[in-house]
């Protein structure tokens, strides 16, 4: 008969064997992926840079010493060592070696779904945040892989090595009732299977497929080829289509594969970013900045008849990006990060005697932090409203649409008077409060595409952070110079009250708590909306994004002093007014709700960027 000690010894050896098997499996998967990726691949050459050239569409040559910095299809930055179970690629386990808590259960147990309106901020403020997020980051993916087909797990022997589906329990109160067993999640492409990666080492680093600069790549694309498909090559204009007396974004050439539409008679738009059709309001923001480019190019053509198409396009793009950067740093970011926080962290520039920024730093790499893209900037998911108001000219709601009815289907914009009604709704409806709740529309019905249920955005955020090997909440606190949490009681001073008791029931140890969970549950920090850990990550990123950008609009020689004075008049309200038919009036600060200090005014009363300075 085998003794207890012998059983323990056998169990220990089995654990060692299983761990080694897991490591070997990961190494084999990565080797196969790398081998497949490297076949018949031609890598781009290091570009030759000219200090006087225009800002490149792919981000190259922004930094003259390191021309590849900030370009598309490069790894995310990682400032805290990755947490992989095998040290290479396998998602983390708990410190004891057990699986981490199920991502869907964490979403259900720690994050509520009660919708509460924000008392001050508009939906356009939240929606602009998604627009900015897409401009900075897009995880490189392998489309079309099914890890969870129609709610059922694809057998391991048939599934791709990229699969990391989220299991759904039978007693799940929403998805389980519908017989859903899993949610699809495909792992992000990494340096290990990228044939052009120059990073040394065997640890996986995920790739972002867009530039790391705030350069409106969501409008212009991330390559010359992509941008050319969006241009008319006449008078500097971007392509638009006229229908029913309105200009629209160009139709996507492959609508049914790109959008959730039945046939080519429905709307699906082609832009610089494939995600532009995700929600009606996001599409409206995209349209506004494309039309703003065309408005600028048209005015510049009148002022400068001798300018050809290329000059008009580049000048209009340069001004459009500058206006956008001004809105991001001076009008929008202070709402969420806090102006005082931004000043203390160096996010806002110090200006010289001529009012130009004086802190451009070519030694700073703009690469987007993996923790920023995969956890901290996803804070905005809590602000999504589940129903979008249709608002009349009187500023009164006349109805609403359900967000999940129109994911990846912008056709609703061309129905009835919805274009005007949804545009007004975006500036008069509040977004949700920044708390531990998410609207059910994204917690249970995200991308349901006509089905009874969809997927859970919060669960996907948690699982994606594991895919990317993000270090723990405590590790990021230490990186930010904050004290590590050593007991569950210490969370009482850090987290929102309703979360303190629950988090200890989900994790084995305080060191197992994940950044995507702990950071999202923190109380707000300083004069911002996010907690101190997320604030640290967000502030650092937006500082690096600015000081590393040679083309940032306030840097010396990018504009004349008089031109810069004009760019600084830019506001979101003016962009929306100039490029939204039927919007004749708006509050001066579009990111804030109407009140006595922020009254509705005629669009004609808003400050105007005087392009005579570019004559």
Q: What is the pLDDT of residue 42?
A: 65
Distance CA 511, CA 339 (A): 32
Place 51 in a pLDDT band, splitting at 50, 70 and 90. confident
Measure CA of the first residue to CA of the last residue in the chain; give whole Å. 95
Give me the residue label for tokens 């070519």.
Answer: 362
The answer on pLDDT for 1 being more than 50 is no
Q: What is the pLDDT of residue 220?
A: 98
More confident residue, 182 or 45: 182
**Where does residue 338 fall: left (phi above 0), alpha (psi -120 to 50 degrees), or beta otherwise?**
left
What would the two tokens of residue 475 be? 């590790």
Place 52 in a pLDDT band, splitting at 50, 70 and 90. confident
For residues 386-403, give the mean pLDDT. Answer: 95
The answer on pLDDT for 19 being more than 50 is no
Structure letter (DSSP) for residue 493 = G
On average, the pLDDT of the chain sits at 92
Q: What is the pLDDT of residue 29?
A: 46
More confident residue, 12 or 304: 304
2 CB-contact burial (10 Å; exposed 0-12 / middle 13-18 / buried 19+): exposed
**Where does residue 300 fall: left (phi above 0), alpha (psi -120 to 50 degrees), or beta otherwise?**
alpha
What would the two tokens of residue 111 be? 């994050």
Secondary structure of 174-191 in the HEC alphabet? CCHHHCCCEECCECCCEH
Give, in order, the Cα–Cα distances in Å from 441 to each of 87, 382, 424. 37, 11, 21
* Number of other residues whose CB lies within 10 A of the CB of residue 250: 16
Q: What is the pLDDT of residue 48?
A: 86
Q: What is the pLDDT of residue 41?
A: 57
Distance CA 591, CA 431 (A): 10
pLDDT digits (tens, 9 = 90+) for 432-445: 999 999 999 999 99
The answer on pLDDT for 43 being more than 60 is yes
The answer on pLDDT for 6 being more than 50 is no
From the DSSP assignment, how many helices (H) and strands (E) are in the chain?
20, 14
More confident residue, 150 or 136: 136
The strand pairing partners of 246, in sequence order, are 243
Residue 508: which residues within 8 A CB-CB, separation 6 or more?
94, 95, 96, 98
- What percentage of residues in the chain have a pLDDT greater than 70? 92
DSSP 444-492: T-BT-TTSS--B-HHHHHHHHHHHTTPPBHHHHHHHTTPPPP-SGGGGG
Contact 307/296 with Cβ under 8 angstroms? no
The answer on pLDDT for 258 being more than 60 is yes
Give, in order, the Cα–Cα distances in Å from 172 to each of 3, 107, 243, 295, 451. 41, 11, 45, 51, 17
Q: Look at 44-58, 107-121, 308-322, 554-568 and tell me which has the smallest mean pLDDT.
A: 44-58
Contact 275/417 with Cβ under 8 angstroms? no
Distance CA 104, CA 509 (A): 19
Structure letter (DSSP) for residue 171 = T
Q: Look at 36-40, 119-123, 136-140, 294-298 and tell me which has the smallest mean pLDDT.
A: 36-40
The answer on pLDDT for 140 being more than 50 is yes
Annotated catalytic residue, options 93, 118, 134, 387: 134
The answer on pLDDT for 36 being more than 90 is no
CATH 1.10.640.10 is the classification of domain 74-137+197-614:
yes
Q: Give me the sign of the Cα torsion angle 253, 254, 259, 260.
A: positive
Contact 272/220 with Cβ under 8 angstroms? yes
Question: pTM of the entire structure?
Answer: 0.92
Place 142 in a pLDDT band, splitting at 50, 70 and 90. low
Longest dimension (CA), the chain: 97
Q: What are phi and psi of 345, to 5 degrees?
A: -90, 0
The answer on pLDDT for 202 being more than 90 is no
Q: What is the pLDDT of residue 197?
A: 75
Q: Is 381 annotated as a binding residue?
A: yes
Tell me if residue 134 is catalytic.
yes
- What is the bridge-based pairing of β-strands 241-243 and 246-248? antiparallel
Q: What is the pLDDT of residue 200?
A: 63
For residues 112-136, give the mean pLDDT. Answer: 97
Assign 3-state DSSP to the chain and report helix, strand, coil percentages, each to 5.
40, 10, 45
The answer on pLDDT for 586 being more than 80 is yes
Q: Give me the sign of the Cα torsion angle 296, 297, 301, 302.
A: negative
Place 498 in a pLDDT band, splitting at 50, 70 and 90. confident
The answer on pLDDT for 539 being more than 90 is yes
The answer on pLDDT for 39 being more than 80 is no
C-alpha 189, offset from chain centre: 17
Distance CA 126, CA 22 (A): 41
Q: What are phi and psi of 51, to 5 degrees?
A: -60, -25
Give, in order, the Cα–Cα distances in Å from 56 to each of 13, 211, 325. 56, 10, 17
Buried b (16+ CB within 10 A) or exposed e, 470-486: bbbbbbbbebbeeeebe
Q: What are phi and psi of 259, to 5 degrees?
A: -120, 165
The strand pairing partners of 598, in sequence order, are 595
Q: What is the pLDDT of residue 201?
A: 66
pLDDT digits (tens, 9 = 90+) for 447-465: 999 999 999 999 999 999 9
Q: What is the pLDDT of residue 493?
A: 93
**What are the domain boundaries of the chain?**
74-137+197-614, 146-185
What would the two tokens of residue 459 be? 């669960």
Give, in order, the Cα–Cα distances in Å from 483 to each of 370, 487, 488, 513, 528. 22, 12, 14, 15, 20
């Amino acid at each position: 008969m085998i003794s207890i000690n012998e059983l323990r010894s056998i169990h220990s050896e089995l654990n060692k064997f299983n761990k080694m098997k897991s490591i070997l499996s990961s190494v084999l998967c990565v080797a196969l992926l790398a081998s497949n990726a490297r076949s018949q691949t031609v890598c781009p050459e290091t570009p030759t840079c000219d200090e006087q050239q225009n800002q490149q569409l792919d981000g190259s040559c922004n930094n003259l010493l390191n021309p590849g910095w900030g370009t598309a299809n490069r790894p995310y930055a990682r400032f805290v060592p990755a947490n992989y179970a095998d040290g290479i690629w396998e998602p983390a386990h708990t410190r004891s070696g057990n699986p981490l808590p199920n991502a869907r259960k964490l979403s259900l147990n720690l994050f509520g779904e009660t919708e509460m309106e924000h008392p001050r901020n508009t939906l356009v403020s939240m929606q602009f945040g998604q627009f900015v997020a897409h401009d900075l980051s897009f995880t490189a993916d392998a489309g079309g892989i099914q890890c969870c087909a129609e709610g059922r797990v694809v057998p391991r022997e048939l599934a791709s090595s990229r699969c990391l589906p989220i299991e759904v329990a039978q007693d799940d109160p929403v998805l389980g009732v519908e017989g859903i067993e899993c949610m699809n999640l495909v792992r992000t492409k990494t340096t290990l299977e990228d044939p052009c990666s120059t990073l040394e080492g065997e640890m996986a680093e995920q790739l972002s497929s867009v530039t790391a600069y705030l350069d409106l790549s969501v409008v212009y694309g991330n390559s010359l080829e992509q941008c050319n498909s969006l241009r008319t090559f006449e008078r500097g204009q971007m392509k638009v289509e006229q229908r029913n007396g309105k200009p629209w974004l160009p139709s996507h050439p492959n609508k049914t594969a790109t959008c959730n539409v039945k046939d080519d008679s429905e709307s699906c738009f082609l832009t610089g970013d494939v995600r532009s059709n995700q929600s009606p309001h996001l599409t409206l923001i995209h349209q506004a900045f494309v039309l703003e480019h065309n408005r600028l190019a048209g005015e510049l053509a009148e002022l400068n008849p001798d300018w050809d198409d290329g000059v008009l396009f580049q000048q209009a793009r340069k001004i459009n990006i500058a206006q956008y950067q001004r809105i991001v740093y001076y009008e929008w970011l202070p709402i969420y990060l806090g102006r005082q926080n931004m000043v203390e962290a160096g996010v806002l520039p110090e200006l010289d005697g001529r009012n130009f920024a004086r802190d451009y730093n070519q030694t700073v790499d703009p690469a987007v932090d993996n923790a920023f893209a995969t956890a901290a900037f996803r804070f905005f998911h809590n602000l999504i409203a589940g129903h979008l108001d249709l608002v009349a000219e009187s500023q009164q709601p006349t109805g609403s649409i359900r967000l999940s009815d129109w994911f990846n289907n912008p056709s609703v914009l061309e129905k009835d008077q919805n274009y005007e009604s949804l545009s007004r709704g975006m500036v008069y409806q509040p977004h949700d409060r920044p708390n531990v709740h998410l609207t059910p529309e994204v917690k249970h019905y995200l991308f349901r595409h006509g089905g009874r249920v969809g997927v859970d955005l919060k669960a996907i955020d948690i699982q994606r952070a594991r895919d990317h090997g993000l270090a723990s909440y405590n590790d990021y606190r230490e990186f930010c110079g904050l004290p590590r949490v050593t007991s569950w009681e210490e969370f009482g001073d850090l987290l929102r009250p309703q979360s303190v008791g629950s988090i200890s029931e989900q994790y084995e140890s305080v060191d197992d708590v994940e950044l995507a969970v702990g950071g999202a549950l923190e109380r707000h920090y300083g004069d911002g909306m996010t907690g101190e850990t997320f604030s640290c990550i967000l502030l650092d990123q937006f500082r690096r994004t600015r000081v590393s950008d040679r083309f940032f609009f306030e840097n010396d020689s990018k504009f004349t002093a008089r031109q810069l004075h004009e760019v600084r008049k830019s506001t979101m309200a003016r962009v929306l007014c100039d490029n939204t038919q039927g919007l004749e009036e708006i509050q001066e600060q579009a990111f804030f709700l109407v009140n006595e200090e922020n009254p509705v005014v005629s669009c004609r009363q808003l400050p105007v960027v005087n392009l005579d300075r570019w004559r």
